[in-house]
Structure 1
Amino acid sequence: MQAQAGDWLLVKSAAVGSGDELGLILETRGPGGTPPFQVRWLRDDREGLVFPGPDAVVLTAREKAAADERQRRRLERVQGEIRARLVRVSSR
C-alpha cells in the first residue's frame, strides 16, 4: 500500500451497522509512501499514526472528489423525487 499526503484512508467496517472510517493522510512515514501514515480522522478530527490492515484502501484526492460528486448527485436526485411527491400529494 502506497500513499502521499493529501490522499484519503478508507477503513471498511467489519461490524454490521458500524460505519466506515475516513481520514486524510497528512504524512507517510515509511519508505516510498508506505505505512505508517499520519492520519486526521473525519469522525472526530483526531490525528494518529496508522498501520493500515487489509480492510483499508487508499483513495487519491481525485478519486475522493469523484465519489463525493456521485454522492452529491444521488442526494439531489432523491431530494428532487421527494419534492415531486410532496407537490403531487399537496395538489390532490
Structure 2
Amino acid sequence: MNAVQGDRIVIHGRTVGSADRHGQIIEVKGENGEPPYLVKFDDGHESVVFPGGDFAVEKPH
C-alpha cells in the first residue's frame, strides 16, 4: 500500500465490538509511500503505525 502525507487511514477493529480507528497520515517514514506512517488519529493521539492487513488508505477528494 502506498500513501502520501494528508491521506486518511482507517484501521479496522480486530475483535467483535471493537471500533475502527480513523486518522490522517502526517508523515510517511518508509520509502516510496510504504509504512511506517506517523498518524494523527481523530481523538488527537499520534502514533507511528506499521499497519497490517486490517487497514485502508483513503485518498482526499
Calculate the TM-score normalised by the size of structure 2. Answer: 0.92
**In the alignment, what sits opposite 1:21?**
21
Aligned residues: 61
**In the alignment, what sits opposite 1:60?**
59
After the TM superposition, which parts of structure 1 deviate over 4 Å for at least 4 consecutive aligned residues?
Answer: none
Query: Any unmatched runs of 5+ in structure 2?
Result: none
For the pair shown, which has the larger CA radius of gyration, 1 or 2? 1
Give the 5 Å matches for 1:8-87. Answer: 8-42=8-42, 44-62=43-61
Identity percentage over the alignment? 39
More helix by proportion, 1 or 2? 1
CA offset at residue 14 of structure 1?
1.7
Q: Which has the higher contact order (CA 8 A, sep 6+)?
A: 2
Q: CA-atom RMSD, angstroms?
A: 0.8
